[in-house]
Amino acid sequence: MNDIVARRFTAIAGIAFSAALIVEVPLYFVYSDEPPQSNVLTRLLFGILGLGFLLVFVSGLRDLIKKVNPECEWIANLLSTAGLAYVAVTLVSSGLEAGAVIASDKPIDPTITVTGTYILYGTIGRMLLAMFLGATAYAIARTRLLPSWTSKGSYVLAGINLAFIPSLFFGNTPAHFYAANGWGTTAMMGAILSYWLLAVSIALLRSARTR
């Protein structure tokens, strides 16, 4: 695969992930009480499909960085490992939530009742994303693969994710901003990630057109 095709393929995967997440996140706020099974499974389906596209994006980004500057292979491997670990951890939490909802004979809110999953996509997810974003920022700065604003923005988002790691000490009430499964720790951070990745993917797509 040549450089232009690789950039386009990676960018399209990033845009697809962002689109899936942009659709998924608002579905968490449709119901104030326990959501019906259809709502939970629909939002989880969008999330699962999006994570598949994220896996492609992370793998493509790793190879692009290695092609541009072979000396950055170590940081490319780090961002890839962190990104793939984030995908795996989030898929596990999604599977546990979906299984609980399917098995239940009444509506439940899996973000509360399925204990432990909110640590996977909360604190653990924030740690893995901070590593991924930090490594991505450094790699972009070293290789100049993308405009400098993408590197600076990645550093900022990495710092924000780090700030949410201690949220596991603040209970499990989704309505609270800074809780283990609070809307700030989970939904807001997911929304920010989707729009950041959308901007980066568009920048990557434009870079393919100028080569």
Q: φ and ψ at 182, to 5 degrees? A: -65, 160
Distance CA 36, CA 152 (A): 41
Residue type, 20: A
93-132: pLDDT as tens digits? 999 999 999 999 899 988 888 888 889 989 999 999 999 9
* Number of other residues whose CB lies within 10 A of the CB of residue 190: 21
153-197: pLDDT as tens digits? 999 999 999 999 999 999 888 889 999 989 899 889 989 999 999
Residue 18 has pLDDT above 80, yes or no: yes
Distance CA 150, CA 134 (A): 11
CB-based contacts of 9, cutoff 8 Å, min separation 6: 1, 56, 60
Q: Which letter does DSSP use for residue 122 in this model?
A: I
Which of these, 86, 80, 81, lies nearest to 50 by C-alpha position? 86
How many angstroms from the chain centroid is the CA of residue 211?
Answer: 28
Tokens of 205: 């797509």
Write down the domain spans for the chain: 3-208
Question: Which residues of the chain form beta strands (DSSP E)?
Answer: none
Q: How confident is the model at residue 33 (pLDDT cuts 50, 70, 90)?
A: confident
